[in-house]
Amino acid sequence: MFTKTCADLLQQEARLPGIITFCKDLDHAIGHSGVSVGLITEFCGPPGSGKTQMCLQLCVNANLPPELGGLGGKSLYLDTNFGFSPDRLREIATACVQHCQRIVRTSRPQLAEVTSKFTAESVMESVLYNHVHVCNELTKSIDTLERLLKLGEKIRLVVIDSYSFLIRCNIENTLERIRIDHTVLNRLQILAQQFKFAIVLTNDVTTKLNGT
């Protein structure tokens, strides 16, 4: 009992693998090495602030080969308000592939063979997609996720974009929102720790400021 200190927990989190964002300052701010595996990361902001763009970038980065700083895995994208764009994902994937190829050519030629297998097409095939517009569909998606993980599917990132939109639009009762929110996130957290994947949620924060 009482064998861990806060310093121990901080060191434990620092050792968790993560999905890089390609922004060093942001990586350190949210988890030392990016979006940490086994934890829930939430990006908050008003519509149009770049949350979906970040989620798409993370889906690409989750597929990066380990030799290039990635996890070499798949992503599951649960879209609640039709914000997902396959065209934009392909653009980001193409740019990322070209960036990695430049790095390999100039400073790490020994990784040329690894880079040749990391293509825009391989990234697109690594992202599983499902549109979710009611909470019951979210529960079914998590059921399917669990089955895939138990079958050995190498999913390293789960995105719910936008989580707040789904909860806000489908549940009016505050206590019911809290109950479902706790049930969903607790189950995802347990799965993430067991199967070593990261969870990213987006939240459409809206704040009404009263003038004085």
- Mind listing the domains of the chain with CATH numbers? 29-204 (3.40.50.300)
What pLDDT was estimated at residue 206? 62
Q: Which two tokens stand for residue 72?
A: 């070499």
Gap between the Cα atoms of 42 and 166, Å rounded: 15
Gap between the Cα atoms of 130 and 123, Å rounded: 17
Q: Which two tokens stand for residue 64?
A: 């990066």
What pLDDT was estimated at residue 6? 83
The answer to whether the CB of 160 falls within 8 A of the CB of 135 is no
**Residue 109, number of CB atoms within 10 A of its CB:** 9
Q: Which residues contact 81 (CB under 8 A, 6 or more apart)?
A: 161, 162, 165
What pLDDT was estimated at residue 211? 54
The answer to whether the CB of 89 falls within 8 A of the CB of 106 is no
The shares of helix, strand and coil residues in the chain, as percent rounded to the nearest 5, are 55, 15, 30
In the chain, the N- to C-terminal Cα span, in Å, equals: 52
Q: Which two tokens stand for residue 123?
A: 């990234």
Show pLDDT as tens, one digit a residue, over the chain (212 residues): 778 888 877 777 767 789 999 898 998 888 778 999 999 999 999 888 999 999 999 999 999 999 888 999 999 999 999 999 999 999 999 999 999 999 898 888 888 888 888 999 999 999 999 999 999 999 999 999 999 999 999 999 999 998 988 888 778 788 888 898 899 999 999 999 999 999 999 998 766 556 54
Gap between the Cα atoms of 157 and 71, Å rounded: 10
Q: Taking CA 167 as the corner, what is the angle to CA 176 and CA 56, rounded to the nearest 5 degrees?
A: 150
Gap between the Cα atoms of 126 and 77, Å rounded: 11
Question: Residue 148 is inside which H or E element, if any?
Answer: helix 135-150
